[in-house]
Structures are given as C-alpha cells and as structure tokens.
C-alpha cells in the first residue's frame, strides 16, 4: 500500500442498475432525460438508478423502471459493467439488456423519453453512457464517434 492510499481512503462505489430497452420491431433503444433537481439534469441517459440495500441489479432495475417510467420489465439480461468517476460520485454501472416489458410508458418524474436509432439525435448525452453507445454501434456494424457526442456537451 502506498502512502497515498493510506492518506486518502478509497472512494466507495455507488452501484447502479441501468436498462437498455430494445424495441423488437426496429431495434430502437429507449433513452430518457434526467429529471430536474438531479446532478446532470436534462442530460440523456439510459433509464435506471441506484441499488438499495439488499437489492440485486435486476430487482433495482425492475423497481426503477416502475418508478420512473411505469413499465414492468421481463428479464433483465446482464450485459456489461463499467465504472465512471464523476465529481459527485464514483459509479459502477451494471448494464442490462431488456427486450420485454408491459404497461404504458408514463413519465413519472417529469422527464422525457425517446426511441432512438444510432447515432442518437438527442443531446447532451451523459458521458457515462458512451461505452454502451460504442458497444451497440459495434454490434450493429456502425462506427462510434465519441467526438460527435462530446461536441454536443454544454460549454463550461
Ligand atoms: N440511470 C443512469 N445513470 C447513469 C447513466 N450513466 C451514468 O454515468 N449514470 C450515473 O449513475 C448514477 C445513477 O444515479 P441516479 O441519480 O439516476 O439514481 P437514482 O434514480 O437512484 O437517484 P436518487 O435516488 O439519488 O434520486 C448517477 O451518478 C449517474 O450520473 C445512465 O446511462 N443511466
């Protein structure tokens, strides 16, 4: 262990379950805007949220999608795990694919949602979602251009 490690306790990860909802008819993906009052309000992201005490990723995702969008998901298929270090939190994102759900979409937190093809037309996109856009692009034989999304970030 280095002196740095002793001086600065490791930041604790915030575990987050995130759903990539894929529409069967055309492969469109669901993206939603972060509600007012949260960090990065107005940024577009994949729906999901933090795990609560004792919850599995699938349980948290199921709960969050009811709370945010009013839909009940079928199976959450674990896909990948990423980490992102934001000024407000060090997050570990558990990405799941979801291809089945029931219920009508309702924006229960005053957010917006959009079914999108790649590259996304909505902006700005939360940087923590870039890796997923890259994997989805690769799966579809498309080029992922991070610069396209970075250019749409608000200027400081
Ligand atoms: N839902 C979601 N969160 C993401 C994505 N990418 C990403 O970095 N994150 C980060 O993961 C964390 C998720 O927290 P959240 O604020 O959405 O969770 P929550 O609904 O449980 O929030 P709250 O209980 O604090 O209101 C945030 O730090 C957010 O910046 C994404 O694509 N979707």
ipTM score for this prediction: 0.91
Name which of 30, 19, 20 is nearest 59 in CA terms: 19
- Tell whether the model's pLDDT for residue 34 goes beyond 60: yes
- H or E segment and range at residue 5: helix 3-7
Name which of 22, 23, 20, 46 is nearest 33 in CA terms: 46
pLDDT band at 8 (very low <50, low <70, confident <90, very high): low
> How many CA within 13 A on the CB side of residue 52?
6
Pocket test residue of 12, 14, 16, 81 for ligand 1, highest count of atoms within 8 A of CB: 16
As a whole number, mean pLDDT of residues 120-131 equals 96
**pLDDT tens readout for residues 87-108:** 889 999 999 999 999 999 999 9
Q: Cα Rg for the chain, rounded, in angstroms?
A: 16
Q: Give the per-residue pLDDT at 142.
A: 98
Residue nearest to atom 24 of ligand 1 (CA): 50
Domains of the chain, each with CATH number or no CATH: 10-150 (3.90.79.10)
Report the separation in Å between the CA atom of 92 and the middle of ligand 1, taken as the mean of its atom positions.
Answer: 10
As a whole number, mean pLDDT of residues 118-129 equals 96
Q: Residue 152: phi, psi to the nearest 5?
A: -95, 5
pLDDT band at 4 (very low <50, low <70, confident <90, very high): low
The pTM for the full model equals 0.90
Q: What is the distance between the alpha carbons of residues 5 and 58, in angstroms, rounded to a whole number? A: 33
Report the separation in Å between the CA atom of 115 and the middle of ligand 1, taken as the mean of its atom positions.
Answer: 19
Q: Give the per-residue pLDDT at 101.
A: 98
Pure H helices in 15-116:
57-69
As a whole number, mean pLDDT of residues 40-64 equals 97
Are the CB atoms for 111 and 33 separated by under 8 Å? yes
Ligand 1 binding pocket includes 126 (Cβ within 6 Å)? yes
């Amino acid at each position: 262990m280095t002196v740095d490690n002793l001086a600065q306790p490791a930041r604790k990860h915030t575990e987050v379950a995130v759903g990539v909802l894929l529409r069967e008819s055309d492969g469109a993906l669901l993206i939603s805007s972060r509600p007012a009052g949260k960090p990065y309000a107005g940024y577009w992201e994949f729906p999901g949220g933090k795990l609560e005490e004792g919850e599995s990723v699938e349980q948290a995702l199921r709960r969050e999608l009811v709370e945010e969008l009013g839909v009940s998901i079928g199976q959450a298929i674990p896909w990948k795990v990423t980490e992102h270090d934001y000024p407000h939190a060090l997050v570990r994102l558990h990405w799941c694919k979801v291809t089945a759900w029931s219920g009508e979409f309702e924006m229960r937190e005053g957010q917006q949602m959009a079914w999108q093809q790649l590259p996304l037309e909505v902006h700005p996109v939360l940087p923590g979602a870039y890796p997923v856009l890259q994997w989805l692009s690769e799966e579809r034989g498309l080029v992922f251009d991070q610069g396209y999304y970075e250019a749409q970030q608000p200027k400081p």
